[in-house]
């Protein structure tokens, strides 16, 4: 399958949607793998409004053979590697919503005083940092939808082309909500997004779940001594299977 149109849309608008990326059987296998895994430790977070698993591939390595299929390799090519993986489960009665924001933080192995690496955080025993702008511009986010997602169960809302404006302070309101797009995705579909694209999600109103695997990919090494915390070269692993 050729994904050139979707990659062009991603570069132009900051997002794109590809349905039928995973089959219903593949989605079932992914969900079964997650549900039967041991869910203990700091990487697992469960509240009334959200269940999340950070460092997903490290915690559930059996997902590798289910997620990193030929479609994903064709879409991204061999230059890209995984840098972050999170599982989100927005329960059917969730009142959780997220205001417009950009994804500005990456996960790294340690903290170091380096130019252009700012806004350090330390949460759940892992370091986060805002990297140089080129790192963010060249990141590709792939959101795998394990449930059909629409405006009633928390589909992402985005501001098209907002990724072209660099880092935006939310309080400046440097965007036009009239251009807002709601990204409805079928079960087994994926949403591609640039992390600098302004995005938000609403509360669930239809009593249906929204389970998503959020993957981030990049092709750049970080300035030493930093390395990507969740680095995984899926393309070489795929070829070796």
The domain that contains 38 carries what CATH number? 2.60.120.620
Region 140-148: what's the mean pLDDT? 97
> Residue 177: pLDDT above 90?
no
Q: Grade residue 241 by pLDDT with cuts at 50, 70 and 90.
A: very low
CA distance 227 to 207: 41
| Predicted pLDDT at 187 | 98
CA distance 212 to 190: 9
Query: pTM value?
Result: 0.92
User: Residue 170 sits in which domain range?
Assistant: 4-240
Give the number of domains in the chain: 1
What does each C-alpha distance from 27 to 93, 147, 186 come to in angstroms? 22, 9, 11
Q: Strand pairing partners for 169?
A: none
> Residue 138: pLDDT above 60?
yes
Output 125 or 118, whichever has higher pLDDT.
Answer: 118
Average pLDDT along the chain: 89
Region 47-53: what's the mean pLDDT? 66
Output 39 or 113, whichever has higher pLDDT.
Answer: 113
């Amino acid at each position: 399958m050729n994904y050139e149109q979707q990659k062009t849309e991603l570069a132009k608008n900051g997002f794109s949607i590809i349905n039928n990326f995973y089959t219903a059987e593949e989605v079932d296998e992914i969900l079964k793998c997650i549900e039967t895994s041991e869910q203990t430790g700091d990487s697992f977070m469960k509240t009334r409004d959200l269940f999340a698993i950070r460092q997903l591939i490290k915690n559930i390595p059996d997902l590798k053979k289910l997620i990193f299929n030929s479609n994903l390799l064709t879409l991204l090519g061999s230059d890209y590697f995984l840098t972050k993986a999170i599982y989100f489960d927005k329960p059917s009665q969730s009142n959780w919503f997220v205001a417009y924001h950009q994804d500005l933080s990456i996960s790294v192995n340690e903290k170091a005083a380096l130019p252009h690496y700012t806004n350090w955080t330390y949460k759940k025993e892992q370091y986060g940092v805002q990297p140089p702008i080129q790192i963010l511009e060249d990141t590709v986010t792939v959101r795998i939808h394990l449930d059909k997602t629409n405006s009633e169960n928390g589909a992402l809302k985005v501001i098209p082309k907002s990724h072209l404006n660099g880092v935006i302070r939310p309080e400046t309101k440097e965007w036009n909500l009239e251009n807002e797009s709601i990204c409805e995705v079928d079960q087994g579909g994926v949403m591609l997004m640039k992390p600098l694209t302004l995005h938000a999600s609403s509360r669930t109103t239809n009593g249906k779940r929204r389970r998503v695997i959020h993957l981030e990919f990049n092709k750049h090494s970080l300035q030493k001594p930093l390395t990507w915390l969740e680095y995984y070269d899926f393309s070489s692993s795929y070829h070796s299977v």
